[in-house]
Amino acid sequence: MTIDTFGESLLWFIGWFVFIYMIGIILFYGTLLIIALLQLRRTYQLDDYEPYEELLTLDQTKPVSILVPAYNESVGIMATVRSLLSIEYPQYEIIVINDGSSDDTLTKLIQTFQLVELSSVFRQQLDTKPIIGVYRSKVYSNLLVVDKENGGKADALNAGINLSSYPYFCSIDGDSVLERTAFLKVMKPIIESDGDVIASGGSIRIANGCEIDRGQIIKVGLSSVPLVVMQVVEYLRAFLMGRIGLSRHNLLLIISGAFGVFSKRWVIEAGGYKHTVGEDMELVVRLHRLIKEKKEKKKIVYVPDPVSWTEAPESLKYLRRQRKRWHRGLFESIWMHKKLLFNPKYGSIGMISMPYYLFIEFLGPVVELSGYIYMILSIWLGGIYLEFAIILFMLSILYGSILSMAAVLLEEWSIRKFPKTMDIVRLFFFSLTENLWYRPLTVLWRVEGIIEVFLRKRDWGEMKRKGVSN
């Protein structure tokens, strides 16, 4: 076989492999879309205020400890705490964990909420870095602030768990703003399941472009920055399609660290948060593993309507940094629990969820990048290569843009967070352009994340924030 013949054979193999892979992906996500459509239809127009109002007075409503890890969150932490103080829920406490911030996060908290230091004694069920001080607000008795040595987000959350008083806790990012009824909605499946649901996650939406005042969403809007608009589309597809479909059959391995509620007993038994890049996913995988090993019939669910609004990167530099970190975190979770892969002992988690996250979510960018390279080479080779490349391109449009457009339609049909018709039109238009510029960028960044895995890079990477609220 000559070099030219070998090259042609390799090119054809890559082309056909990408083709078959993309067909499989489209069928998989098409199935998730149908499941999401049916699930949203089943709950259509049931997520207004009335079904949740009774939870404010029910005796079985579970009290919740809200944990807010904060490291240099001076810009957004005030809005987050204010939004939490105004949520509608019968009984809760807020614990802000200042994880050794080098800015004025702690000073702002002390001054704004009139904090006084306590001589607290607490049970240390999880190991953490030393606690420097514990403060309580003189104005809001349910607001506590913990000052500790820097140990990372996982360590901060474990410190918050140690100090928490209630059987369920919620992790919230320091730059998040919650809707007033978000907790009633995210806690509903836990309350109704009588303990069978041990973790529940809500949706994360992008706050850039929204009007927010003193921790409250005044008006939902869409950013004028194209990069942010594409992230809105991406989030809609990930949450409204992916997580609804996986959650429906208890296959969900990710509850966003920006908004998730957990049973404290189960998390402590699992060993708390581990110091990984993707500590939120790793904990959920470990909980699934514990459930299977104890032969319990517990569930981890996703609820589409309760929403936490968070700030998205507006520059390529910080978005690239975020996506590389997410991809490294994904690998860490898979690698730490590789024992589950194709292991029938762990049921559908081992046979479906873990292979999905490995072969589609983690390795998928490598296949997609191969497809892009094939398309570029076909321009010079011409002939049948170019014809096949056009087919691959049309499949990529179907896989990316069409599914994103479907997610936008699901948003408008069910949740309807965007009041302006023009915002939906803009989201729809940007969905059409996804495969022309945005998706190739994210594919390249995720491949960089894979390279960093082999280089054993573990740093978090600075994320610059400008704040989304006054």
Can you give the CATH number for the domain in which 329 is found? 3.90.550.10
pLDDT tens, residue by residue, 48-76: 444 556 665 656 678 999 999 999 988 88
Confidence of residue 155 (pLDDT cuts 50, 70, 90): very high
Cβ neighbors of 161 (< 8 A, separation 6 or more) are 65, 67, 125, 126, 169, 264, 267, 268, 272
Q: Are 296 and 192 in contact (CB under 8 A)?
A: no
239 burial type by CB count under 10 A (0-12 exposed, 13-18 middle, 19+ buried): buried
pLDDT, tens digit (0-9, with 9 covering 90-100), for 257-282 = 888 999 999 999 999 999 888 899 99
pLDDT over 70, % of the chain: 90
Number of H helices, E strands in the chain: 18, 12
Q: How many domains does the chain have?
A: 1
Higher pLDDT, 327 or 119: 327
User: Given this model, what pLDDT does residue 313 score?
Assistant: 93
Quote the pLDDT of residue 4: 61
pLDDT the model gives residue 467: 56
Tell me what pLDDT residue 409 has.
Answer: 79
pLDDT at residue number 230: 94
pLDDT level of residue 460 (50, 70, 90 thresholds): low
**What angle is formed at CA 306 by the lines to CA 188 and CA 438, rounded to 5 degrees?**
145
Mean pLDDT of the chain: 87
Give the residue with greater pLDDT, 112 vs 400: 112
- What domain range is 375 assigned to? 1-470
Q: Are 96 and 144 contacting, i.e. CB atoms less than 8 angstroms apart? A: yes
Whole-number pLDDT of residue 99 = 95
Write out the H or E segment, with its range, that includes residue 183.
helix 182-193
| CA-wise closest residue to 209 among 369, 426, 363 | 426
Is the pLDDT assigned to residue 330 strictly greater than 60? yes
Q: Are 303 and 248 in contact (CB under 8 A)?
A: no
The three-class DSSP label of residue 168 is strand
- Are 162 and 126 a contacting pair, CB within 8 Å? yes
Band (306; pLDDT cuts 50, 70, 90)? low
From CA 294, how far away is CA 265, in angstroms rounded?
14
Confidence of residue 284 (pLDDT cuts 50, 70, 90): very high
Q: How confident is the model at residue 46 (pLDDT cuts 50, 70, 90)?
A: very low
Q: In 368-393, which positions are buried (b, 16+ CB within 10 angstroms) versus exposed (e)?
A: bbebbebbebbeeeeeebeebbeebb
Q: What pLDDT is stored for residue 47 in this prediction?
A: 47
pLDDT at 1 over 50: no
Q: What is the pLDDT of residue 51?
A: 56
Is residue 323 within 8 Å of residue 313, measured between CB atoms? no
> How many whole angstroms separate alpha carbon 117 and alpha carbon 122?
15
Average pLDDT over residues 152-177: 91
- Gap between the Cα atoms of 271 and 63, Å rounded: 22
Pick from 54-63, 96-105, 383-392: least confident: 54-63
Residue 305, H or E segment: strand 299-310
* pLDDT confidence of residue 296: 92
Range 381-395 average pLDDT: 81
Torsion of CA 172, 176, 180, 186, to 10 degrees: -40
What is the pLDDT at residue 67? Answer: 96
3 confidence band (pLDDT: 50, 70, 90): very low
User: Which pLDDT tens digit goes with each residue over 110-140?
Assistant: 999 999 999 866 778 999 999 999 999 999 9
Q: Does residue 364 register a pLDDT over 70?
A: yes
pLDDT in tens, 410-447: 776 666 677 788 888 899 899 888 888 999 999 999 99
Query: pLDDT digits over 173-228, tens only?
Result: 877 888 888 888 899 899 888 889 999 998 888 999 998 887 778 888 899 999 99
Token pair of 434 as six digits: 């996804």
